[in-house]
Structure 1
Amino acid sequence: METANDSTGGDFILVGFSERPELELILSLFVLTFYTITLVGNVAIILLSILDTGLHTPMYFFLRNLSVLDLCFTTSIVPQMLVNMWGGNKKISYAGCMVQYWVALALGSTECVLLAVMAIDRYVAVCWPLRYASIMHPRLCHLLAAASWSSGFANSFLQSSMAMVLPRCGNRHVDHFFCELLIIVKLSCVDTGPTESKMFIARLIILGMPVSIILTTYVCIARAVVKMRSAEGRKKAFGTCASHLMVVSLFYGTIMFLYLQPKDNYSQDQSKALAVLYMILAPTLNPLIYTLRNKDVKKAVRRVLGKEQV
């Protein structure tokens, strides 16, 4: 039996849903289906927003960033998850595990901040429509997107560095379907209380600050909409914010319940179920939410298809 206080090297065992083998096949088909839809939907949004000049606006610039995030995020988890479900080998290398939890945390953190940036964009569009183009100019949009990505990766670097130095004493069974940072921390054979407290504070900041921005902007938007005399104006304002609100509710609803719940209420089965919603279902629904009721996207599709037919 391995007892050395190793913190590097060796393979991890992703337990996943192996305790319920009858569920694995059904779940793998579910995951594969939604992963395929995620790839198609997000690639379509990225290509449309690049090819059609009518979508060269701040809103679709940030939406393109969101689609890139969702693509990278699911791809960092789902292929390995499917390999483990379809084969008897549940192993993942130490390096692979480290990269997986670092990338997943970085992209998830980036999305937290990006959704707040998108809320600011909607605030300017509704509350300052005549100055929207001058305020949300391309340089500011690129700076806000860069701030989202850099803060997300900085948060991941900070938390991952804390986890990497903890000794595991040969503990390699990860009770999840991917290398989730908190599970890796719990494999340590030393007191992880101080480390988990620091990570909780980091999670609270990366979640709390964007949520505060989103709530503040939508309070301002709601006040502006109430003051509108035109019913058509109120309808247009609601339409421009509805998709973002749905995405925010889906994303933050699952992630806050998953990562900010008290330890006493922590259930690993519950965690796995919520993780599937957060990591598999949400990236699939995002492009559908933004396109099904969006007239601009529908027009862009017709324009792009028309060019291809000529």
Structure 2
Amino acid sequence: PDGPTRWVACDVLRVGDTVEVQPGEPIPIDGDIVSGAALIDESMMTGESEAVVRESGGDKTSVLGGTRVLQGTVRMRVTAVRGESFLDRLIRLVEGQGREPTPNELALGVLLYAFTIALFTVVVTFTYLADFTHIVFVSVATIVALFVCLMPTTIGALLPAIGISGINRVARANVIAKSGKAVEAAGDLDVLILDKTGTITIGNRLAVQFVPAPDVPMAELLEAALVCSSVDETPEGKSIVRLAARHNAPVRRLELGSYKVMPFTAERRMSGIVLH
């Protein structure tokens, strides 16, 4: 752990290796933090837009490969090899998921089976009656041709029509359907309830309004927010700067040495400027 560090490809990492991850870099593979603390964006894995703190010691040391470090430098011990990480297992689970037939496909299948049995019964009965009454002679080739011509194969063409109709209906509502069952169900939806805000948002918390305390002028609040968040590299801090700029916040010029910058850290969980 105290020896020299070197760049390596994530493919060569093995269980037990120690890896240093710096701000802005992705976690290469699943592991446990052994040193330091970091603010990590796990929205790709969990769908939660709020970044989480992971630090050594305690019960919040595990990190997932593919997530990204927003702030802080940590050293982690690899606990999984390539192909056995959480993301790899999740991909295999999705790929191995069999396609379930839609309700319309099931109903159409039952209809085709019923028509085929009924048709077979009619053809056999017709052949038996023709042979028994000697009114007409029916050869085997004629029976086969009659059966093939009357088979309800054209009903199968309804499936593409049903799928196209459903896709058109959900497309008009800007919905992307990942299965035929979802397409059919979406055609009858009136209300859609989502359990993850990151599903329909950009995934970051943003400042939308400044609310001053009693007897505090709005201009003073805008100036203080702009100064304190100007060194904050988190998505929340950057959004405060953008919001203050849209409100034409006054820019305060600080003399060198008259302030001390307090950057955001995972341990402190805040940022700001201390004026001397």
| TM-score range normalised by the length of the shorter chain | under 0.3
Q: Could you say which structure has the higher helix fraction?
A: 1
Q: Which one has the bigger strand percentage?
A: 2
Decide which structure has the larger Cα Rg and report it: 2
Normalised TM-score (structure 1): 0.25
Using CA pairs below 8 Å that are at least 6 residues apart, which structure has the higher relative contact order? 1
